[in-house]
Structure 1
């Protein structure tokens, strides 16, 4: 009887969620609340200027949180950089970075776009916020100069493959049997349905080692360090701002305002205004639309499927042992 009541509640909740989704879609279509990422400039694109682009949050696809007014939009960042590369009125670029890193692919895509901008002869400066670690630091290595807040956590020069979880025992407990048919003995490695073999661990480790070597090369080139010097710093540890400065990972300690002043004075751009490139915030309805699946009650099966979706995250991520440090 109790199970029937729980099933009825879940069914009603799902119906309600579907109804809310339908209403939200209609409202977005009629009122036009749904919006794509656009850029809001504080100065005319026709005049010479210094552009400012922020990269905040986990680097990957578009992400947001419930009722948040900001979110990470990868395509917005790439499109913005492409526009600036082709715009001769952009005389310099300051990238404000506050990120613990993210996926290897998306991180490197931003890095290469910054190098493309810099290849035109225009300066790129990086200003580090509270965290510019792993992929966040990787991106910063494209800059001509890195100015780091004195409280920034940075470095974490390494690669991680998160959440390789063997859930076969849980499936067995729930009476779920998974049968995977493959051609190639390592095709399904890391699937979560069976333990990794020693050979598969070796394969995965080789992938991480290769990507780590790429990270070390980026640090070596961007910071004018020898490969050996960069390799010694690339054990995955987090550096304080002072430690990063002492090791040549950043050029100077200072605030974002200091970064602006340093660029203007060093690059002879004193008279140019700042142009903040900002993505449009998500509307309440768009945010709700993204998070609607999380509002419905979770069954054991849905919890397992959610767990599966987080398996095998591969990237330049920083996992801080300090937690949320505060004074």
Structure 2
């Protein structure tokens, strides 16, 4: 049972890590905490669901990811760009408003009921020495690893990735070198929405359904980035695995004693403990500023 829980936890942790990378990317570029990341996961999943009604699943996934990227780009251009120069707290509050707006739109269009999600992976499972690994978990883990690898290669090997790193380190210096900070902000939001959509599609496959409560994945992703560090890409990956495993172990071993739903609360409790011990996370950059 322990190995089974660990496998399930690592799979979900890989997906959480992927979604958290989008959160970290926006924070590194603009110092904005995007509290609408969970809603972008939800919207990406619902876009794929809607497209799958009249398109092949593979085409629905590709188009959903592209449309999600466009949504992220438009959000930055139409909503956040006019707020450049405003206090960061004001921008964060705007992301909260975006979250509630997207949740309301999904409720208005699809309602509160759970909708069956089209399955990307075949039914069945591997059975290795009594350890059952459903194909959907194995496929979800492999795809999340592939997506994380592509993200890291983009961030470290491409011209735009280098520009993003430059903006994250010092915006003024990056601008003096000819880097378009506005372009970096917009592309950061587009990529964040893309990885959120991929995460939403993978979680929808694992759960077998989707509804508006998918947005609460954002809370777990927030726990991931707090654990790993708001500005750390390796921290997002490690934090995702830790939170995923903690969730699985909490559901298996603690939930029978403390009641249902504890597996969803356990990662948040872990986040509070980490904040008390290491406020900047396990890999986050500590900053000391004169007030």
For the superposition of Structure 1 and Structure 2, which TM-score range results when normalised by the shorter chain?
under 0.3
CA radius of gyration, larger in: 1
TM-score by length of 1: 0.23
Greater fraction of residues in helix: 2
Greater fraction of residues in strand: 1
Structure number with the bigger relative contact order (C-alpha 8 A, sep ≥ 6) is: 2
TM-score by length of 2: 0.25
